[in-house]
Amino acid sequence: MDRRQTRIHIGTRGWHYPHDVSGFFPEDLPPDWRLELYTTQFHALELPPQWALPDSEDVAQWEAETLEDAALALPLVGDWGQHLAAGGDLRPLAKALAPLEDKLAVVLWPQTPSTQAEDFWPGVYHVDSATGPLTELPIGTPEPQGGFLYWRLEGPGRYHPETLETFASHLLQRAAKGCESFVFFGEPSYALLDAGILQEAVDRHLAAS
């Protein structure tokens, strides 16, 4: 099954969490195998922030160690990212990211990107990370107009399982309306745990529907 068809994309910001309490990665698992294991559970991933043109070996790893239905979000940061957003030459970045093909789902810009961004990546969501991503669970609060929303959930601490269950219902309601949701957890100890609980809740509801 193409997991992207659910319109609900759950994962974490990066996949290296030295203080993780979830036990997601076996203790004897080599670090080089972690991304491949991660993508079997979560098809969505916010990649490490890029302060310069991504290294070709990193891009090759992202492509090779994720499944075909991966949905990758790439943050562009710093002066380099601002330069590109303000109208810098996007051709080197487009060439560097070409191996990802359809796996590239979102580009996060440090400010409103140039209109040329959609010409280079027409099937990708472009997010102004200064104003676009939300940092709180939007349960019971007004949402911006439009079908796409991007959440970065940083804690503090662990989210209560009942809160995540309610949030799962919220995401499913959005998906039923054709709305796309990206949710990435980032709290160093609980990101993988919270993402797993939310993903399991969504999967359970989808299986029952």
For 36-50, how does the pLDDT look when each residue is reduced to its tens digit (9 = 90+)? 999 999 999 999 999
List the CATH number of the domain containing 11. Answer: 3.20.20
At 155, is the pLDDT very low, low, confident or very high (cuts 50, 70, 90)?
Answer: confident
The beta strands (E) that lie in the chain are given as: 8-12, 44-46, 71-75, 104-109, 125-128, 148-153, 180-185
**pLDDT-derived band at 185, boundaries 50, 70, 90:** very high
| pLDDT class of 141 with cuts at 50, 70, 90 | low
Phi-psi sector, 117: left (phi>0), alpha (psi -120 to 50), beta: alpha
CB atoms within 10 A of CB 96: 16
Contact 181, 8 (CB under 8 A): yes
- Whether 157 and 174 have beta carbons less than 8 Å apart is answered as no
pLDDT bucket at 147, cuts 50 / 70 / 90: confident
Residue 154 pLDDT > 90, yes or no? Answer: no
Q: Residue 1: which pLDDT band, with cuts at 50, 70 and 90?
A: low
Reported pTM: 0.93
Report the domain count for the chain.
1
Confidence of residue 146 (pLDDT cuts 50, 70, 90): low
180 neighbors 148 (Cβ within 8 angstroms):
yes
Domain of 82, in residue numbers: 3-208
Condensed to tens digits (0 to 9), the pLDDT of residues 84-125 reads 999 999 999 999 999 999 999 999 999 999 999 999 999 999
The mean pLDDT value for 182-205 works out to 96
Instruction: Tell me the three state secondary structure of residue 99.
Output: helix
Please give the structure tokens belonging to residue 104. Answer: 């590239």
d(CA 73, CA 106): 4
Query: Which one-letter DSSP state was computed for residue 68?
Result: T
Strand extents, DSSP E, 59-146: 71-75, 104-109, 125-128
